[in-house]
């Protein structure tokens, strides 16, 4: 089904240098693009540089431009307000989210909208064949983007999408209503992944088309440490919401913690050396977790491989996990010798648990391809 009307939702904060040329260029493209009728909703977070005044002036001469103002709470909050306004007050077939700083080329917008003919969501992707990022990006920024997407794909479970953090998307309003993404209420840049995750689990048809992501023309990036922290924490929350296997694995891990700490404390009270206590307790919890995961967590997976091979894989993962946890324990005892031994043992469980889950879920207990 073709798209006849669309609203661009564009969050802004201190974009006075970019917003006027962006609006002029974007609307000029749709002046001659039939039969699509386009509007632009600028969601400004009370920019002190006068962004809202510029938008208001343009809106007075062009009814296709709308302004929605509010206090600065983050990118996710701005998009939430914008989406709610469009769904409640405007009758459009699709919403396009994009940046106001020319990172997303206005000339790519018609391609995204055209892609909705046979999809519910079209992502302007940097990481599919033909997509690229600006040459001015440093290695640190490229690595951060790569790791963020990798984390979103394999922790949040958005495997089929290459560019999970993309901020340039065309979404059918019907699909947006089905997904109920607005209930997530995330404030920062993690909104991009949270929205995509909600669309995916609501069975939206998602496709990616290549774009060239250009570094902003003017101004400074708004990405901060708080956004990064929220991003990584929320990935685990998304995994918990949608993955029964992960919930089972987490519960198994919690029971393994009890086994680990109980074993450690019992041996320590008996006078066993704390380093030996740590190694034995770790091994005991690994054996416990294997049996519970094998016969409960992953029992629904079809695995035709030999159990002996699976056992060897699990043992190898166990050795790596043991090394990670024991090394962490030793490091903590060296750095904080006055702290209780059992506290160091508890903290040492965390990196081992992460390594254990990913290695066993995607290697040891990997389901057969169908």
Residues 172 and 84 in one domain: yes
Residue 63 burial (10 A CB sphere; 0-12, 13-18, 19+) = exposed
Query: Edge-to-edge strand order for the sheet containing 206-210?
Result: 65-69, 37-44, 5-12, 94-97, 169-172, 121-125, 206-210
Is residue 208 located within the same domain as residue 319?
Answer: no
**Same domain (yes/no): 18, 162:** yes
Of 107-121, 152-166, 237-251, the range with the lowest mean pLDDT is: 237-251
| 97, part of any domain | yes
User: 124-147 as b/e, with b when 16 or more CB fall inside 10 Å?
Assistant: bbbbbeebebeeeeeeeeeeebee
Question: In 104-182, which residue ranges form alpha helices assigned H by DSSP?
Answer: 109-115, 139-154, 173-179
Residue 370 lies in a domain: no
Lowest mean pLDDT among 26-40, 153-167, 212-226, 314-328: 212-226
Among 242, 267, 294, the domain boundary falls at 242
Domain span at residue 140 reads 5-242
Question: Each residue of 62-72: pLDDT tens digit?
Answer: 999 999 998 88
Does the structure show a pLDDT above 80 at 152? no
248 and 187 inside one domain = no
Q: Give the 3-state secondary structure of residue 72.
A: coil
pTM of the model: 0.62
**What pLDDT does 113 receive?**
93
Which one has a higher pLDDT value, 112 or 332?
112
What is the residue-wise DSSP string for 252-301?
A: HHHHHHHHHHHHHHHHHHTT--HHHHHHHHHHHHHHHHHHHIIIIITTTS
The span from the CA of 175 to the CA of 200, in Å, is: 10
What is the tally of structural domains in the chain?
A: 2
Instruction: Single out the residue in 222, 242, 262 at which a domain terminates.
Output: 242
Residues 226 and 252 in one domain: no
DSSP summary character for residue 232: H
Distance CA(211)–CA(204), nearest Å, equals 21
Residues 113, 252 within the same domain: no
Whether 313 is covered by a domain: the verdict is yes
Residue 170 binned pLDDT confidence (cut-offs 50, 70, 90):
very high
293 shares a domain with 167: no
Per residue in 52-63, pLDDT (tens digit) is: 999 999 999 999
Residue 241 has pLDDT above 80, yes or no: no
Q: Is residue 299 part of a domain?
A: yes
- 370: pLDDT confidence band, cut at 50, 70 and 90? very low
Q: Give the range among 12-21, 86-95, 201-210, 333-342 with minimum mean pLDDT.
A: 333-342
* Average pLDDT value for the chain: 81
Comparing 119-133, 178-192, 297-311, which segment has the lowest mean pLDDT? 178-192
320 compared with 361, residue with greater pLDDT: 320
Q: pLDDT-derived band of residue 369, with 50, 70 and 90 as boundaries? A: low
278 and 171, same structural domain?
Answer: no
Q: Are residues 203 and 297 in the same domain?
A: no
Pick from 257, 358, 362: nearest CA to 303: 362
Please give the C-alpha separations between residue 365 and each of 313, 323, 356, in angstroms, as whole numbers: 9, 21, 11
Q: Among the three residues 199, 227, 242, which one is the final residue of a domain in this structure?
A: 242
Name the residue with tokens 């240098």. 17
Same domain, yes or no: 49 and 198 = yes
Q: Assign residue 117 a region: left if phi > 0, alpha if psi is -120 to 50, beta otherwise?
A: alpha
Q: Sorting pLDDT into bands at 50, 70 and 90, what band is 45?
A: confident
State the average pLDDT over residues 184-191: 66
Cα–Cα distance, 298 to 306 (Å, whole number): 15
CATH of the domain at 213: 3.90.550.10
């Amino acid at each position: 089904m073709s798209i006849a009307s669309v609203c661009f939702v564009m969050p802004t904060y201190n974009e006075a240098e970019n917003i006027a040329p962006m609006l002029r260029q974007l609307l000029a493209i749709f002046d001659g693009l039939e039969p699509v009728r386009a509007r632009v909703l600028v969601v400004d977070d009370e920019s002190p540089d006068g962004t809202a005044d510029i938008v208001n002036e343009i809106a007075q001469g062009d009814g296709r431009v709308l302004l929605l103002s509010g206090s600065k709470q983050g990118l996710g909050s701005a998009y939430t307000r914008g989406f709610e306004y469009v769904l409640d007050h405007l009758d459009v077939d699709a919403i396009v989210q994009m940046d106001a700083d020319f990172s997303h080329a206005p000339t790519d917008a018609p391609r995204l909208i055209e892609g909705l003919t046979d999809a519910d969501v079209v992502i302007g992707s940097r990481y599919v064949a033909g997509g690229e990022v600006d040459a001015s990006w440093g290695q640190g920024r490229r690595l951060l983007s790569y790791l963020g997407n990798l984390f979103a794909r394999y922790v949040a479970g958005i495997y089929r999408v290459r560019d999970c953090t993309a901020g340039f998307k065309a979404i059918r309003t019907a699909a947006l209503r089905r997904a109920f993404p607005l209930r997530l209420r995330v404030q920062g840049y993690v909104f991009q992944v949270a929205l995509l995750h909600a669309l995916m689990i609501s069975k939206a048809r998602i496709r990616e088309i290549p774009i060239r992501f250009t570094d902003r023309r003017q101004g400074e990036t708004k990405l901060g440490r708080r956004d990064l922290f929220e991003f990584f924490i929320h990935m685990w929350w998304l995994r918990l919401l949608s993955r029964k296997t992960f919930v089972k694995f987490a519960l198994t891990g919690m029971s393994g913690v009890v086994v680990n700490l109980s074993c450690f404390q019992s041996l320590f009270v008996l006078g066993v050396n704390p380093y030996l206590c740590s190694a034995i307790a770790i091994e005991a919890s690994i054996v416990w977790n294997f049996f519970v995961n094998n016969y409960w967590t992953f029992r629904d997976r079809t695995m035709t491989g030999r159990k002996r091979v699976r056992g060897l894989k699990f043992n190898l993962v166990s050795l790596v996990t043991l090394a990670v946890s024991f090394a962490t324990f030793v490091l903590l005892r060296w750095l904080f010798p006055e702290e209780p031994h059992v506290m160091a043992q508890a903290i040492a469980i965390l990196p081992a648990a992460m390594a254990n889950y990913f290695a066993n879920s995607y290697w040891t207990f990997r389901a057969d391809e169908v």
